[in-house]
Amino acid sequence: MRADRLVAVLLLMQSRGRVTAADVAHALEVSVATARRDLAALAAAGVPVYPQPGRGGGWSLVGGARTDLSGLTAGEARALFLLVGRASAETVGRASAETVGPAGAETVGRAGRGGELGSALRKLMRALPGTFRAEAEAAAAAVTVDPAAWGDAPRDRPAAVTPLQEAVIARQRLRFAYPGGTGKERRADPLGLAEKDGVWYLIADTPEGQRTFRVDRIHQPHRTGETFEQRADFDLATEWGAVVEAMERRRSGVRATVLAEPRHARIIRDHFGRHCDVLGEEDGRVRMTVRAHLHRSVAEQLAGWGSAVEVVEPDEVRAELARIGRELTGAYAPPSR
């Protein structure tokens, strides 16, 4: 996970004063190229680190090595915890109430170790001035990242992301233009942002209930000056999961029943993910259903299995598989003699 590496890089810099990309790579067990990207990401996010070229150079914290983060400004703390993101939100939320024992930055940096990431985040939170902690907690819970695409190509980050993100953290009501509906200006309480493979979405409360807006379709967002209270039962990851599930149901209206050898069934299930249901065994094969938005899409995803997977129904998917087979035969069959 990149979040725990970014935290670990910062702790490593505090403990050593100055580090090179090679130092970071060795301590965190990543490539030198990855270490350079992580150091650049911290600098780009506003965390006070800077590079010094030449012999004896490296990366340092502004003001030299420190044993805590009390030198961070509110904006810098917010930038750091936005980078850490939703993956750390529950840990961060408990930070002020927990006691932290000593742990080295190198140990904290091992990717995938949730307990060590939690320890690092608690250290970061406890080191912040008390006036910054609430904003850092809000920043950590403001964004969730979903890497699975819905078919849209990754795009440039919309300019509206930053003001929307700030409104989420500050709990400030928004007004903005959005296509569709009555065409009137929308009023919304921004609850959180989700990035899905480069496409950004805003989850917000509106007079009509909770809604999800694509950020690249939001125009002229501005704050009204009013604040709102975040719902106590709101959890961004849970709400985004519900949005995705509802969208996937609409996008996956075509269902096919297939039979596969047990050794293939696990791979098919992993490939289709939430769009696959195992029904049981039949004559030594696994019976399951797979779903997609078009008959052709189901067929295209199964065609590579050839006869190893049998499509029982519907006939439309079987016909698409036959068409794909004819196309491949026409394109690759050896010329007749």
Residue 248 is which amino acid?
Answer: E
Going residue by residue through the chain, which has 337 residues, state the pLDDT in tens, using 9 for 90 and above.
455 677 777 777 776 778 888 888 888 888 888 888 888 887 776 677 777 776 667 888 765 434 455 555 556 666 666 655 544 443 444 433 333 333 333 333 333 344 555 555 556 666 655 555 666 666 656 666 665 556 555 567 788 888 898 898 888 999 999 986 556 789 999 999 988 877 889 999 999 899 999 999 999 999 998 999 888 888 888 888 888 888 777 766 789 999 999 999 989 988 888 788 999 998 899 999 998 888 999 999 999 999 899 999 999 999 999 999 999 998 888 887 6
The residue with tokens 């927990």 is: 98
DSSP-derived secondary structure for 215-276: GGG-EEEEEEEEE-PPPTT--HHHHHHHHHHHHHHHH--EEEEEEE-HHHHHHHHHHHGGGE
Class of the CATH-defined domain 2-140: mainly alpha
Parts of the chain belonging to CATH 1.10.10: 2-140
Alpha carbon distance 337, 318 (integer Å): 31
Stated length of the chain: 337
Q: Is the Cβ–Cβ distance between 186 and 177 less than 8 Å? A: yes
Class of the CATH-defined domain 252-332: alpha beta
Look up the CATH number of domain 146-247.
2.30.30
Parts of the chain belonging to CATH 3.30.70: 252-332
Closest CA to 3 of 36, 33, 31, 41: 41
Q: What is the pTM of this model?
A: 0.48
Q: How far is CA 262 from the centre of its chain?
A: 32
Alpha carbon distance 3, 140 (integer Å): 11
Parts of the chain belonging to CATH 2.30.30: 146-247
